[in-house]
Amino acid sequence: MLLKLPIKMSAGLGLSLIDRAVKESFASRCTNEDLERIRQYFLSQGVFRCLYCGSENPSRWDHLHAVSRGGDTVPGNLVPACQRCDDSKQDKDVAEWLKGKAKHRPPLEALSRIEAEIREYQSYFAHEPREFESKLSDDDQAKYKRFRQEIEALRMHLKNEGLLK
Ligand SMILES: [Zn+2]
């Protein structure tokens, strides 16, 4: 097989990665012991597998509720996923992903099974997903707003220079 061209990093993608990194600085992050508790939970459900397609070789921890939307790196939000599903899902929630047009999404018929497994998992760890803005204090909201203004200014600047489509 021929080697493909390396992925091109667009300025727009770069800006969204900065946004995600800043959002991650407001997110909770669990310990390795917590991660082991998650692993044990899924092991106790049977084979340790991709929550979405059932593949028996999950290689990633997917955020059910994406970091860019306020998701935390905690039990109740991390699920084992295979690389293919994780790459396909990106920052969408499960229903959005399965109803969408992403390549390699599981069939829509799998939605109710996946959602039931997610409900059980989240209630086991008493986890309730929160939207990004709603978990910030007033101070942090102001901080994030100032950051967004800078990002928008940078976006306009790149656009005016023809560096961003
Ligand atoms: Zn999968």
pLDDT, one tens digit per residue, over 8-23 is 889 999 999 999 999 9
Distance from the CA of 129 to the center of ligand 1, in angstroms?
22
Q: How many CB atoms lie within 10 A of CB 77?
A: 28
User: Who surrounds ion ligand 1 at CB < 5 A?
Assistant: 50, 52-53, 55, 82, 85
Residue 57 pLDDT grade (very low, low, confident, very high; cuts 50, 70, 90): confident
Residue percentage of the chain with pLDDT more than 90: 87
Give the 3-state secondary structure of residue 122: helix
Report the alpha-carbon distance of residue 130 to residue 27 in Å, rounded: 11
Identify whether 13 is part of a domain: no
Count of domains observed in the chain: 2
C-beta neighbour count of 103 within 10 angstroms: 7
116 plus 138 within the same structural domain: no
Provide the pLDDT for residue 40. 96
What distance in angstroms lies between residue 85's CA and the mean position of ligand 1's atoms? 4
- Identify whether 10 is part of a domain: no
**Rounded mean pLDDT of the chain?**
94
Q: Domain residues for 57?
A: 23-129
**pTM of the predicted structure, to 2 decimals:** 0.88
* Torsion, CA 8, CA 11, CA 15, CA 16, rounded to 10: -40
Identify whether residues 155 and 95 lie together within a single domain: no
